């Protein structure tokens, strides 16, 4: 699926705590900036960083804005973001739009001091929670779930909460009110809390900042970390000279300070339900060099291609892909089928964002602007073209036409994920059921409409078998949300 017709991720989170006292040698704001740049694929609409010197409880340094990370931050902004701990956020808006007040992290004054919060996900019961908050006389200034979370965290937990009115109690209260979907980084005083919802729907991991001269292969304990980071994905680590410490468990609350990390609580899922990491993190959202559940996303995508070849091989001359997200799947397909891999499209990396076009002529122009046919590789040949998913089907037809007009004999589409049938209520911007092409046309009808010679999707079983080699930190098998494919949501939906 290339970006003309894609699902949209909801956000990237990053946090950093330096191990020394203020003033620290570590440039925390720059580290957070580099972390957000590496997480840019998770949201390009807004970005923000909040830093603190820890001991000064009355003031945070804040900069947020509209645009991608390098547009929002200049050297001057980063110089003014002084502190030895901080959190950052890069946003794609599912709720609340791109007005400046929706930029995160949110910062509020509470009875207990300043609080900064950054959120990835969408609360399945946001509407009911919003009503409860309003009924309690608390006003909300944005439509975003993240502000809702911030307000709930500011409130006292109910009597009887075993952890009383401290931050653990407040976070547990939030987690009792809403089970999914969120990963959070929360900053208060000189502490950052990293929280993953009980279903683990969004990823979150912890890294150690390596001192100069220490290499990635060093084991934990062989060196004193310069600091600790929390990130939505591990792909960040090389760019900030850090190594993965571990992934945060579903339902876990981790406290990060200059003294190190400590797991301070876990909230379990009701009725022994399995975890539900979004399976589209593997299919599309996460960067291929990230590690999820102990496995590299690239290898899972390759395995999806291998499964697809087992399910839907076809005698063709070459296997190829729409650059670049489905390339590992195309390589896996090629390995199993024995059909050679060859590139058929050259991507123009400088066209910027291309919006979904309203008619076939404009779509054809948008595709031609973005891709040049490498016709010497495929003239007169039968191509198997692998893509990672189809949402509305608005652009793949234009690509097939481009290939055929440039000399392809046949174009057979293979999709390295199952058809999308249901909307997502956990933070991914999937269109309504009516807009999803798989609800209108079956695979054969869609192939005909698109001008493809055939079209086959990967089965749900094939996708699950490709991802299920992952395990959590405690060695237990993981579980995945497949709701947009199967209609089986991890929790009952409240309206």
CB-nearer residue toward ligand SF4: 331 or 481: 481
CB-nearer residue toward ligand SF4: 200 or 265: 200
Q: What residues are paired with 66 via a beta bridge?
A: 46
Over the range 415-437, which residues count as b (16 or more CB within 10 Å of their CB) and which as e?
A: bbbbbbebbbbbbbbbeeeeebb
What character string, x for contact with ligand SF4 (CB under 6 A) and - otherwise, covers 152-191? ----------------------------------------
Residue 424, interface with ligand SF4 (CB under 6 A)? yes
Residue 199, interface with ligand SF4 (CB under 6 A)? no
CB of 281 to ligand SF4, least distance (A): 7
CB of 82 to ligand SF4, least distance (A): 37
From the list 47, 326, 426, 463, which residue makes contact with ligand SF4 (rule: CB under 6 A)? 426
Separation of alpha carbons 87 and 404, rounded Å: 49
CB-nearer residue toward ligand SF4: 16 or 277: 277
- Residue pair 345/323 in contact (Cβ under 8 Å)? The answer is yes
What character string, x for contact with ligand SF4 (CB under 6 A) and - otherwise, covers 449-488? --------------------------------xxxx----
Separation of alpha carbons 414 and 394, rounded Å: 16
Residue 201, interface with ligand SF4 (CB under 6 A)? yes
CB-nearer residue toward ligand SF4: 278 or 312: 278
Pick the piece of the chain touching ligand SF4 (CB under 6 A) from 234-242, 254-262, 272-280, 306-314. 272-280
CB of 263 to ligand SF4, least distance (A): 25
CB of 489 to ligand SF4, least distance (A): 7
Q: List, as own/partner pairs, every contact residues 153-161 make where C-beta atoms lie below 8 angstroms and the sequence separation is at least 24, other chains included.
A: 153/110, 153/115, 153/117, 153/186, 154/108, 154/110, 154/111, 154/115
Residue 280, interface with ligand SF4 (CB under 6 A)? yes
CB-nearer residue toward ligand SF4: 277 or 291: 277
Residue 84, Ramachandran bin (φ over 0: left; ψ between -120 and 50: alpha; else beta): alpha
CB-nearer residue toward ligand SF4: 31 or 424: 424
Q: Nearest 10 degrees: CA dihedral of 80, 81, 82, 84? A: -170
Residue 309, interface with ligand SF4 (CB under 6 A)? no
CB of 200 to ligand SF4, least distance (A): 11
Pick the piece of the chain touching ligand SF4 (CB under 6 A) from 64-72, 124-132, 398-406, 423-431. 423-431
From the list 49, 278, 398, 411, which residue makes contact with ligand SF4 (rule: CB under 6 A)? 278
Which residue in 185, 176, 154 sits closest to 251, CA to CA? 176
CB of 277 to ligand SF4, least distance (A): 8
CB of 393 to ligand SF4, least distance (A): 18
CB of 234 to ligand SF4, least distance (A): 19
Distances (CA, A) of 153 to 159, 184, 489: 15, 11, 26
CB-nearer residue toward ligand SF4: 44 or 417: 417
The residue annotated as part of the active site, out of 11, 19, 205, 235, is: 11
- Residue pair 329/321 in contact (Cβ under 8 Å)? The answer is yes
Number of residues that bind ligand SF4 (CB under 6 A): 11
CB-nearer residue toward ligand SF4: 33 or 280: 280
From the list 186, 279, 400, 491, which residue makes contact with ligand SF4 (rule: CB under 6 A)? 279
Pairing of strands 113-120, 106-110: antiparallel
- Find all residues with CB under 8 Å of 356, minimum gap 6, and list them: 4, 5, 392, 394, 395
Residue 394: how many CA atoms within 13 Å on its side-chain side? 22
- Residue pair 94/12 in contact (Cβ under 8 Å)? The answer is no
CB of 426 to ligand SF4, least distance (A): 4
From the list 13, 309, 428, 443, which residue makes contact with ligand SF4 (rule: CB under 6 A)? 428
Residue 484 falls in the annotated catalytic set: no
Pick the piece of the chain touching ligand SF4 (CB under 6 A) from 100-108, 214-222, 421-429, 467-475. 421-429
List active site positions.
11
List interacting residues with ligand SF4 (CB under 6 A). Answer: 201, 278-280, 424, 426, 428, 481-484
């Amino acid at each position: 699926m290339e970006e003309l017709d894609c699902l949209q991720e909801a956000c990237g989170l990053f946090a950093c705590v330096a191990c020394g006292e203020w003033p620290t040698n570590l440039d925390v704001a720059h580290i957070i900036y580099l972390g957000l740049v590496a997480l840019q694929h998770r949201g390009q609409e807004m970005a923000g960083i909040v830093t603190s010197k820890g001991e000064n409880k009355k003031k945070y340094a804040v900069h947020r804005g509209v645009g991608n990370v390098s547009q929002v931050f200049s050297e001057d902004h980063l110089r003014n973001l002084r502190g030895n701990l901080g959190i950052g956020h890069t946003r794609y808006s599912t709720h609340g739009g791109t007005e400046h007040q929706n930029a995160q992290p949110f910062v509020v004054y509470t009875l207990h001091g300043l609080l900064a919060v950054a959120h990835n996900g969408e609360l399945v019961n946001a509407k009911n929670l919003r009503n409860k908050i309003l009924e309690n006389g608390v006003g909300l200034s944005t439509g975003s779930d993240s502000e809702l979370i911030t307000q709930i965290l500011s409130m006292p937990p109910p009597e009887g909460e075993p952890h009383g009115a401290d931050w653990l109690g407040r976070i547990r209260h939030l987690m009792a009110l809403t089970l999914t979907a969120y990963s959070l980084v929360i900053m208060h005083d000189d502490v950052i809390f990293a929280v993953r919802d009980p279903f683990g729907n969004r990823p979150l991991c912890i890294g150690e900042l390596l001192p100069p001269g220490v290499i990635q292969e060093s084991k934990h304990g062989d060196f004193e970390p310069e600091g600790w980071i929390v990130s939505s994905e591990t792909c960040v680590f090389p760019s900030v000279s850090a190594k993965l410490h571990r992934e945060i468990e579903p339902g876990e609350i981790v406290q990060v300070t200059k003294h190190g990390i400590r797991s301070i609580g876990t909230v379990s899922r009701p009725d022994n339900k399995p975890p539900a990491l979004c399976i589209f993190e593997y299919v599309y959202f996460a960067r291929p060099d990230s590690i999820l559940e102990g496995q590299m996303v690239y290898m899972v995508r390759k395995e999806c291609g291998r499964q697809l070849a087992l399910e839907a091989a076809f005698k063709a001359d070459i296997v190829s892909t729409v650059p670049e997200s489905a390339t590992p799947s195309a390589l896996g397909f090629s390995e199993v089928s024995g059909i050679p891999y060859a590139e058929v499209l050259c991507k123009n990396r400088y066209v910027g964002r291309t919006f979904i076009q309203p008619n076939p002529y404009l779509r054809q122009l948008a595709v031609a602007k973005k891709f040049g046919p490498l016709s010497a590789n495929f003239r007169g040949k039968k191509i198997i073209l692998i893509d990672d998913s189809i949402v509305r089907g608005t652009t793949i037809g234009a690509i097939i036409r481009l290939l055929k007009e440039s000399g392809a004999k046949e174009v057979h589409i293979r999709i390295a994920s199952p058809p999308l049938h249901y909307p997502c209520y956990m933070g991914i911007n999937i269109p309504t059921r009516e807009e999803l092409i798989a609800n209108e046309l079956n695979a054969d009808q869609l192939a005909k409409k698109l001008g493809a010679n055939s079209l086959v999707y990967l089965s749900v079983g094939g996708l699950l078998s490709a991802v299920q080699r992952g395990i959590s930190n405690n060695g237990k098998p993981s579980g995945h949300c497949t709701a947009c494919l199967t209609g089986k949501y991890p929790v009952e939906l409240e309206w």
